[in-house]
């Protein structure tokens, strides 16, 4: 760990929601008038971590894992049930004006721009709300418009923008006060690949220019792989993993994938396949031209040796499984007793 003071410190943070509960039907509706039954739903159960100034951290977990609840507590929107957090030296949920002036929470599906007026007028309003000096405002607005390529858009009313255009304008509006801590909740949700890529490179650029600390949730692993050296994985409100991305693969992925392409006209004999299996290779796909084999990490060199001995090879690659697959496995293995339906589906990019 670096020696500087963390930008974000979280200790044993918990959030429990009390939700009313009743069965369907008229009878139950009438009974609930007399006696309301409620149920405690634990959204976040005691997570702790530190984030350093300038770090970009991917915050991963299936739907209902507690990601958004955590971001809402750290931005100051929700008061936790127990636990502590400090962001830039402030307790977020006290919503100190000085804290709010250095923080931004950007949610992919939430609109903070005023619907009926041109985007630039909303920016003017933010300038007044955040008390941004004229010179800073002018410089930042020009810079953000250029970086996000929105000069054509800012004169239009928000209601005339497409989802992707609106998202870019939202992001620019949320950064005019130059927050030093940025919480991004699904910033690329519903956007096409080109737009996702642009927003991704913009976030990286913002981080480089301002050294802001960024926490990012996304269902698109490409976002996380492009931006985050470090990931925090939560599931059922508890912290499963905190470390770098390769470490996550190492820890949760038991195998590597060996992809073999035969030389032209060559094929592999069945007894050779048996020797590959004996070395620990699990042939998951076989065609006339090649093989795909899964092997435990420790067995990989031996299996590769067997393959090379078995058949003339034109090309051979050894890969870690795709990060989506690893994450899916993490949640599946932790998913016993899961109540959110299909915990893994959320992690697969559509």
Partner 1 sequence: MIPPDANAPITSGPPRPGFSPRALVPFYVARFKIEIATSFAYRGAMLIWLLSLIVQPLVSLVVWTTVADSQGGAAGGYTASDYAAYFIAVMVVNQLTFMWHMWEMEWRVRTGFYSPILLRPLHPIHEDIVGNLSFKLLTLVPLVPVAVILSIVFDAHYPTTVRDAIAFVPALILAIGLRYMVEWTFGLLAFWMTKVTAFYQLFGSLSFFLAGQIAPLSLFPKPIQTLASVLPFRWTLSFPVEVALGRVDGRGIAAGLGMQVLWLAIAIVIMRLVWSRATKRYSAVGA
Interacting residues toward partner 1 by CB under 8 A: 4-7, 9, 11, 17, 53, 72, 75-79, 84, 86, 88-90, 93, 95-98, 100-105, 107, 109-112, 114, 116-117, 121-122, 124-125, 127-131, 180
Q: How far, in Å, are 37, 113, 167, 170, 202 from residue 109 at the CA level?
A: 31, 12, 9, 10, 19
Q: Which residue in this structure is represented by tokens 């429990």?
A: 16
Query: Least Å distance between CB 5 and partner 1?
Result: 5
Query: Least Å distance between CB 197 and partner 1?
Result: 26
CA distance 175 to 107: 13
Order across the sheet with 181-185: list the strands: 103-107, 181-185, 213-217, 56-60, 230-235, 238-244
Cβ proximity to partner 1, 88 vs 233, nearer residue: 88
Query: Least Å distance between CB 194 and partner 1?
Result: 27
Query: Least Å distance between CB 149 and partner 1?
Result: 24
Query: Least Å distance between CB 323 and partner 1?
Result: 28
Query: Least Å distance between CB 202 and partner 1?
Result: 20
Cβ proximity to partner 1, 66 vs 290, nearer residue: 66
Cβ proximity to partner 1, 113 vs 147, nearer residue: 113
Order across the sheet with 281-286: list the strands: 281-286, 290-296, 255-262, 313-319
Cβ proximity to partner 1, 129 vs 278, nearer residue: 129
DSSP secondary structure string for all residues of 144-169: HHHHHT-TTTTTSBGGGS-HHHHHHH
For residue 239, count CB atoms less than 10 angstroms from its CB and return exposed for 0-12, middle for 13-18, buried for 19 or more. buried
The continuous run of DSSP H or E covering 105 comes out as: strand 103-107
Cβ proximity to partner 1, 82 vs 111, nearer residue: 111
Closest CA to 144 of 177, 121, 117: 177
Contact in structure between 7 and 88 (CB atoms under 8 Å): yes
Cβ proximity to partner 1, 20 vs 25, nearer residue: 20
């Amino acid at each position: 760990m670096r020696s500087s003071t963390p930008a974000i410190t979280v200790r044993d943070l918990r959030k429990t929601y009390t939700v009313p509960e009743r069965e369907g039907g008229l009878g139950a509706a009438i009974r609930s008038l007399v006696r309301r039954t409620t149920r405690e739903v634990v959204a976040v159960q005691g997570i702790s971590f530190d984030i350093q100034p300038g770090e970009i951290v991917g915050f991963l977990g299936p739907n209902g894992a507690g990601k958004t609840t955590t971001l809402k507590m750290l931005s100051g929107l929700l008061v936790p049930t127990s636990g502590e957090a400090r962001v830039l030296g402030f307790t977020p949920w006290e919503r100190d004006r000085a804290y709010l002036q250095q923080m931004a929470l950007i949610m992919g599906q939430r609109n903070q721009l005023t619907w009926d007026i041109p985007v630039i007028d909303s920016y003017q309003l933010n300038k007044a709300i955040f008390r941004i000096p004229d010179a800073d405002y002018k410089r930042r607005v020009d810079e953000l418009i250029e970086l996000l390529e929105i000069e054509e858009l800012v004169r239009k009313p928000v209601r005339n923008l497409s989802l992707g255009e609106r998202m870019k304008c939202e992001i620019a509006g949320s950064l005019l006060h130059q927050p030093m801590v940025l919480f991004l909740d699904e910033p690329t949700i519903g956007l096409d690949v080109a737009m996702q890529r642009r927003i991704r490179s913009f976030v990286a650029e913002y981080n480089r220019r301002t050294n802001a600390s960024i926490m990012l949730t996304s269902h698109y692993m490409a976002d996380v792989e492009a931006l985050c050296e470090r990931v925090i994985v939560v599931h059922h409100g508890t912290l499963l993993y905190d470390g770098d991305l390769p470490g996550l693969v190492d820890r949760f992925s038991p195998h590597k994938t060996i992809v073999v392409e035969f030389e032209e006209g060559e094929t592999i004999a069945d007894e050779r396949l048996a020797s590959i299996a004996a070395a620990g290779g699990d042939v998951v796909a076989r065609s006339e031209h090649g093989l795909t084999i899964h092997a435990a990490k420790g067995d990989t060199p031996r299996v590769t040796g067997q393959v090379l001995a078995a058949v003339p090879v034109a090309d051979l690659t050894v890969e870690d499984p795709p990060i989506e697959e690893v994450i899916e496995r993490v949640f599946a293995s932790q998913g016993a007793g899961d109540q959110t339906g299909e915990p893994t589906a959320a992690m697969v990019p559509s």
